Amino acid sequence: MAQPIADRRDVDFVLHEQMEVTRLTDNETFAEFNKKTIDMIVSEARSLAIKEIMPTQEPGDAGCDFEGGTVTLPECYSRPWELFIEGEWLAMSDSPEWGGQGMPKTVALAANEYFIGANVAFMLYHGLTHGAAKMVEEIGNEKQKKLYLKKLYSGEWAGTMLLTEACAGSDVGALETTAKKNPDGTYSITGSKIFISGGEHSMTPNIVHPVLARIEGAPAGTRGISLFLVPKYRVNDDGSLGEFNDVVCTGIEHKMGINGSATCSLTLGGSGNCIGELLGEENKGMRNMFIMMNDARQLVGLQGFGVATASYMHALAYARERVQGANMVKPREGSVPIIQHPDVRRQLLEMKANVEGMRSLIYFSGICHDMVKLAEDEETRLEYSQLLEVLTPIIKGYVTDKANEVCSHGVQVYGGYGYCKDFPVEQLLRDSRIFQIYEGTNGIQSMDLLGRKVGMSKGKPFMSFLARIKKTIDEAKESAELKPLAAKLEEVYTRFNEVVVALANAAMGEKVQSAFAQSHPLLTVTGDLTFGWLLLWRALTAEKALAGKPKKKDLPFYEGQIKTCAYYINNTLAVTLGRLAAIEGMDDAVIGISEEGFGSK
């Protein structure tokens, strides 16, 4: 039977062999999560995803309904929503103090891979709820934590994020929503927000909105933005629900993908009766919102990956079953499954290499989260938290760029059927396109990489990240089979170091605009290098397993890891060297061309 959503063998390989996740259980914090427990968690998540959530993907694509301020979600969401909440899946890696399960983040990511791959639109509601809860946990006062946290982490209430306005998209500082302080310490909120995922629905009795607004008299721009908690229904001191809080949905967007996720326009205080409470300090809203934004950006990378791995699994199963054309070297033996045709095999291996690079990167980010939690000294905690900061634009930007490519290959493998709604890959391609846009476009992620992460803390975190890559290269050079691949990766590594220094220097000088015109190409080559590292790490792990004389059934898997690494390094990284040369050249045509030169008005 074909593997739906994700290759369980590869999930187990990354968890237990590459990342050695059970080492975390040496610490008392995670002592109860032994291998048996971890495997059971992943199995239960896989079962719920396949049996209950995945059947909602196609009918959910019909979208949500809006009428008179009310949003109705697809009816098929009701049962899996209840089961997801009953299973306490929303707060898997969060503190039991607030209703979480306290498991390693790495294990939670493996479970979420299945949930998201089953239906990313359905899971958006839960992802944003978790982000809102995390923000309350990080910066909320004790009363706010008591009133909101367990309701959010349990999924009893939903959460969102209200940033965007018609006049303030990426330029958040241009927002016009205002907050007027009341005598009782609350604030009257007035304004309109757009592109709010899960902004209105009736699946939960309350929706809690973290809202960016400017207190009257506050400085202009991002310096004067504050953050407020604005529930759909006010919350009484005993936790019960009070009156409607004048948060009105005025419409939903009609999108090319993730149609089961209600993307809402909301008006706050249209009747002058919307009350919010300050979350964190005044004028620190942007800094505090980034607690949720960084979590959300890593979630978006996971979403891209979840959709990509599902597309790959569908394409692989189809290629094994679809009979069409003869084998090139056996033309007289009749038609064969299309997986025997060279170009189909190339596309499948391209998909495989990128999906497996994504899985290793995202699970590795989970290890970093877990090490921050377990760190016994500030130096270790800082090392892993800063490493996560470096990885975030790669996870959000590069992974979602590649996810869209993978999903496009998925359609191509199916041929004409891939373009039709009879099969799921066309929906996965449509769904995947949004991940390159929201939570900061990938152009913004690339600017973050060049403008902040490369030089953060005098470049130490970025150099520490590169040192991990070099360590794997040096280890692989000791292997007779992997040495040639390590040498090619080292060539890219060396050129990358040279180019990134030159580009970073240019970004601080007169050619700053030309340098930032190369920021997205820089993100791409950084991602290429990262995947090359992770796939070489995989190959090393597989080689060690082969040396241990594994079971016969595991031989193709381990040998496939080495072949996948060879394909990626010999093909993708050859292109990366060309990209590095282009970045180094820093052609100024992007800046030099006049606006009229782009075309006639």
DSSP letter (8 states) at residue 434: G
Interhelix angle 105-118/342-374, nearest 10 degrees: 140
**SS3 call for 343:** helix
> Which of these, 284, 454, 527, 359, lies nearest to 10 by C-alpha position?
359
Q: State both tokens at 198.
A: 């899960």
CB distance 541 to 364 below 8 Å: no
3-state secondary structure 467-485: HHHHHHHHHHCCCCCCHHH
Q: Rounded to an integer, what distance in angstroms lies between the CA atom of residue 24 and that of residue 33?
A: 9
Dihedral sign (CA 94, 98, 100, 101): positive
Say if strands 275-278 and 187-197 run parallel, antiparallel, or are unpaired.
antiparallel
Cα atoms in the Cβ-side hemisphere of radius 13 Å centred on 256:
10
Residue 350 a catalytic site member:
no
Choice among 439, 478, 584, 595 that is catalytic: 439
Relative to beta strand 70-72, strand 65-67 is antiparallel
Over the range 156-174, which residues count as b (16 or more CB within 10 Å of their CB) and which as e? ebbbbbbbbbeebeeebee
As a whole number of Å, the CA-based R_g of the chain is 25
- Quote the tokens at residue 556: 């193709």
Catalogue the active-site residues: 439
